[in-house]
Amino acid sequence: MSGTAVIFAVLAAVVLLGAWRVVTSEQIAHSALFLGLTFVGMAGLFILLKAPTFALLHVLVYVGAILTVVVFAIMLSDPEELRGAGDLPLGERLRRRFLSPYYGWLPVVVAGVLVAVVLAGLAAAQLPRVPLGEPVADDLRAIGGEMFTRYAIPFEVASAALLAALIGAIGLTRRETAEERGRAGRDGGAARTAPVARVPGAMAAQGAGDGAPQVGTPAGSSPAGDRVTAAAGSSGGAGAAGEVGR
């Protein structure tokens, strides 16, 4: 077994075990770290394939950008929701793992059949054992040259798609401003969601809005009560809370 074969075996083991632990870790933070290990192992395989520029870009984007975004998402999510199946009782976990069709045997069958078919095809194929020539020596120059001449239009399309995705991500995750929240409350559209209830003063207004109809405040007894009952009549209690809280 040559040195290269040993290196390949180690890298393949790192990649596959890392991927395995990404799926099976109890804690999702561990999954994210194993994902990083898998990405680094993949970069090693690319270096072994004599594609160092690709390995560099792979580490740069996957470890530097995607893994960071994943870790951010984990940290910004509610920790209560992140334990997943780990806090289920053991019997339920075993039942889910082996008996349930959706979480147990059916995905195993689907993925197993796919892998078996592909491996059978690979075993039957006539694949070269050695490369059919020398790889490009200066691959950064070759990739850059091709990227900006022959693949210039796909490159521009990809960059436009990336820009649109990033702007969309910003738009999705941006916090609503107080003004928009008030407008949503008036429309009654997003008034049922939690952020409205967290507006300072909205809780008190909610209480007033709930209390007013029960007490039977006479219309016109106070301007504020009048506004609350009028708004409650038009768009419901939560909508009124948004209106008054603003």
Partner 1 sequence: MGGIPLLDYLVVGTLLFGIGLWGALTRTNAIRILMCIELMLNAVNLNLVALNQYLDPGSVEGQIFGLFIIAIAAAEAAIGIGIVLMVVRRRGEVDINKIRLMRG
Name which of residues 1 to 40 contact partner 1 (CB under 8 A): 2-5, 8, 12, 15-16, 19-20, 22-23, 28, 31-32, 35, 38-39
Of the candidates 26, 77, 88, 213, which one interacts with partner 1 according to CB under 8 A?
77
Tell me the site size for partner 1, rule CB under 8 A. Answer: 91
How many Å apart are CA 118 and CA 114, to the nearest integer?
6
Tokens 């976990």, residue? 93
Cα–Cα distance list, 34 to 21, 43, 108, 222 (Å): 6, 14, 21, 62
Q: Is 229 in the site for partner 1 (CB under 8 A)?
A: no
Q: Is 238 in the site for partner 1 (CB under 8 A)?
A: no
What minimum distance in Å lies between the beta carbon of 187 and partner 1? 16
When the beta carbons of 3 and 223 are compared against partner 1, the nearer one is 3
**Is 18:38 a contact under the CB 8 Å cutoff?**
yes
What minimum distance in Å lies between the beta carbon of 198 and partner 1? 11
What minimum distance in Å lies between the beta carbon of 179 and partner 1? 18
Of the candidates 58, 206, 225, 243, which one interacts with partner 1 according to CB under 8 A?
58
List the structure tokens of 181: 């929240």
What minimum distance in Å lies between the beta carbon of 208 and partner 1? 26
Farthest CA pair distance, the chain: 93
Phi, psi for 130 (deg, rounded to 5): -125, 155
Residue 194 in 3-state DSSP?
A: helix
- Dihedral through CA 223, CA 228, CA 230, CA 235, nearest 10? 160
* Interface map 169-188 toward partner 1 (x if CB under 8 A): xx-xx---------------
What minimum distance in Å lies between the beta carbon of 217 and partner 1? 33
